Amino acid sequence: MQPSRSRKGSRGRVCEVEGSRGSVVGGKRKDAEKSARRAVIETALAMSRSGLSPCRSGNVSCRWKEGMLITPSGMAYEETDLRDIVFVDGEGQVPAKRPRKPSSEWRFHLAAYRARPDIGAVVHTHSLHATVLACAHRPIPAFHYMVAVAGGKDIPLVPYDTFGTEELAQHVAGGLADRNACLMANHGQIAVGADLASALELAHEIEILSEQYAKTLALGEPHLLSDDEMARVLERFKSYGQRAQKA
């Protein structure tokens, strides 16, 4: 599988169907926002129903205009309506008319968008095996070539800080500077992508790799691939898949 490569300098997709400037107005703009809100809810439901993040844990957002649309704080995804998805602007402000509070983790979502203008979506989960490794303070090294799916030779672990804090947000932004996923110490995992589908798919990949690595550790220390081999894998990923063939 080809990793979601970092493309600095290009802007990640917003969850908006954009035409020529000024052409999406009135009802069309409202329809685009409804579609974006629906996509956030559907992604959160898929995350939860797959077991990737149990109950009300985890959160989902997509880039929207100069800010983001994010799941609300403490609400069951099955009970979440389009109106419950919260818009947070680029300065971290929520319009007073919105009835819901954003996820308590909105700060690290916003920090990720600021650090990575090429991404359009963030998925944060408490998936079982990724959380086990995070609690053991175990980043994922190059035990398998598919570790490159996150865009580098390993999947890093960022330091712990209290949930919802600016300090944690800065740790996450640093971890995602040159990776599309990382583990969060004593917390869980976070994955980003050009859109919601790719971010969710990567979160699933990170959980699979976490399970494989945790089970390998039960047998002893794994044999790791060299930096040179991981560099070759990353290069080969560039020409892997249907999109690359058409490029």
Within a domain: residue 158? Answer: yes
Question: 33, 66, 79, 105: which one is catalytic?
Answer: 105
- Residue 226: inside a domain: yes
Q: Considering its fold, how many domains does the chain have in total?
A: 1
21 occurs within a structural domain = no
Structural domain contains residue 11: no
User: Is 20 domain-assigned?
Assistant: no
Give me the pLDDT at residue 212, please: 98
List pLDDT tens digits, range 203-221. 999 999 999 999 999 999 9
Which residue positions in the chain have pLDDT lower than 70?
1-26, 98, 241-247
Full 3-state SS string of the chain? CCCCCCCCCCCCCCCCCCCCCCCCCHHHHHHHHHHHHHHHHHHHHHHHHCCCCCCCCCEEEEEECCEEEECECCCCHHHCCHHHCEEECCCCCCCCCCCCCECCCHHHHHHHHHHCCCCCEEEEECCHHHHHHHHCCCCECCCCHHHHHHCCCCECEECCCCCCCHHHHHHHHHHCCCCCEEEECCCEEEEEECCHHHHHHHHHHHHHHHHHHHHHHHHCCCCCCCHHHHHHHHHHHCCCCHHHHHC
Residue 233 in domain? yes
At residue 190, the pLDDT reads 98
pLDDT score, position 131:
98
User: Which CATH number do you get for residue 220?
Assistant: 3.40.225.10
- Check residue 240 and give its pLDDT: 76
In a domain, 1, yes or no: no
- CA-closest candidate to residue 207, choices 149, 145, 164, 162: 149
The answer to whether position 17 is within a domain reads no
User: Which residue segment(s) compose the domain that 155 sits in?
Assistant: 26-246
Q: Residue 105 catalytic?
A: yes
